[in-house]
Chains A and B, each alone.
Chain A
Amino acid sequence: MRARVYVTLKPSVFDPQGRVVADALVTLGYQDVKDVRQGKFFEVELADADPATAKARVTEMADKLLANPVIESYRVEVLQ
């Protein structure tokens, strides 16, 4: 069983890396780029469990380690 965790900086936190990436894209000619927010992506392999339990486990992991709740928010997806 596999779960995906997407971690991003909260909207209120300035993302200097995303800003630089956005500037680079504009420099490359993508004038339509308004902003980029950079984040982290995790794929977690789990022993088989029912999806609800898996989601609860991975959410706990995200809270405890994968994301820092002071500056980051996260989203958990469980794949069937």
Chain B
Amino acid sequence: MKFAVVVFPGSNSDYDAFYAASRVVGEQAELVWHKDTDLNGADAVILPGGFAHGDYLRTGAIARFSPIMSAVKSFADRGGPVLGICNGFQVLLEAGLLPGAMVRNDRIKFVSQLVPVRVEQTDTPFTTACASKQVLRLPIAHGEGNYYAPPDQLEQLEANRQVIFRYASDGGEVGTEWNPNGSLNNIAGICNRQRNVVGLMPHPERAAELPLGSADGRVVLASVVKALQDPKSSRPQDLTKA
């Protein structure tokens, strides 16, 4: 299979994602410039971390209008797996591919640390190789990861099981003491209604090999390989290739 990693001006985890997909997971990967209009037949798309367009105006607000985003949107509409990591998650929120928004971390600090993250649902293409309630140790590095959705939307997210990752303790307990940024309901990652678009603030691609402090992130990218081999293992309605 082939991953497309979108490169925005200001992306800084693009090569990390490219490396994790190609060298660690061992699949094909291609960097795609944000001004391109075609995903070149990719089977899965990653919007990487960084500071697209300098985070000017709001995180992800300008990147949302990059030409490649039309291709990403139609790929997502066809059921193609799309993963937004950190700034990529923020772009997906601004683009309306995922519900909600990000506000500043509640303690106004840029938080950079390895945190335990609990996998809430395994029926998405990026968690299908995870065990239910598995705790992954993943790095976070953001100033604006405080997930917000209006109360009715939050209720819907929970009811539809769209919360995919939550900040937790090493033992998998969820509580405010393990919430690094003030995110509602300890949300670290969510998916769309169709479950093929996933966004998360932690960086699985930066924790895909032991020398980096954790290899737990590998399973997130390996999941999509499994999902594409066996579309029944996750629920996207249509994983046919672009």
Mark A residues whose CB is within 8 Å of B: 9, 12-17, 20, 65-66, 68, 70-71
Contact = CB atoms under 8 A, between A and B. Distances in A.
B103 A65 contact: no
Contacts of B148: 13, 70-71
A65 B56 CA distance: 11
A15 B106 CA distance: 8
B201 to A, nearest CB: 16
Contacts of A66: 57
Given A68-B61, A70-B148, A71-B148, A16 B106 contact: yes
B57 A13 contact: no
Interface of B: 57-58, 61, 65, 93-94, 100-101, 103-108, 146, 148-150, 182
Contacts of A15: 103-104
A68 B150 contact: no
Contacts of B57: 65-66
Contacts, number: 37
A44 to B, nearest CB: 13
Contacts of A65: 57, 61, 65
B150 A16 contact: no
Across chains A and B, which 10 residue pairs bring their CB atoms closest together, nearest first? A70-B101, A71-B101, A16-B104, A16-B108, A16-B106, A20-B108, A68-B101, A17-B104, A68-B58, A71-B148
Nearest to A67: B58
Contacts of A12: 150
B100 A70 contact: yes
Given A66-B57, A68-B58, A14 B101 contact: no
Contacts of A17: 104, 108
A17 B104 CA distance: 8
Nearest to A20: B108
Contacts of B100: 70
Contacts of A20: 108
Contact of A68 (B94, B108, B149): B94
A68 B99 CA distance: 12
Contacts of B105: 16
Contacts of A14: 103, 106, 182
Contacts of B149: 70
Given A13-B148, A16-B182, 14 more contacts: A12-B150, A16-B107, A17-B104, A17-B108, A20-B108, A65-B57, A65-B61, A65-B65, A68-B61, A68-B101, A70-B101, A70-B150, A71-B103, A71-B148
A20 B93 CA distance: 26
21 contacts: A9-B103, A13-B103, A13-B148, A14-B106, A14-B182, A15-B104, A16-B104, A16-B105, A16-B182, A17-B104, A65-B57, A65-B61, A68-B58, A68-B61, A68-B94, A68-B101, A70-B93, A70-B100, A70-B101, A71-B101, A71-B103
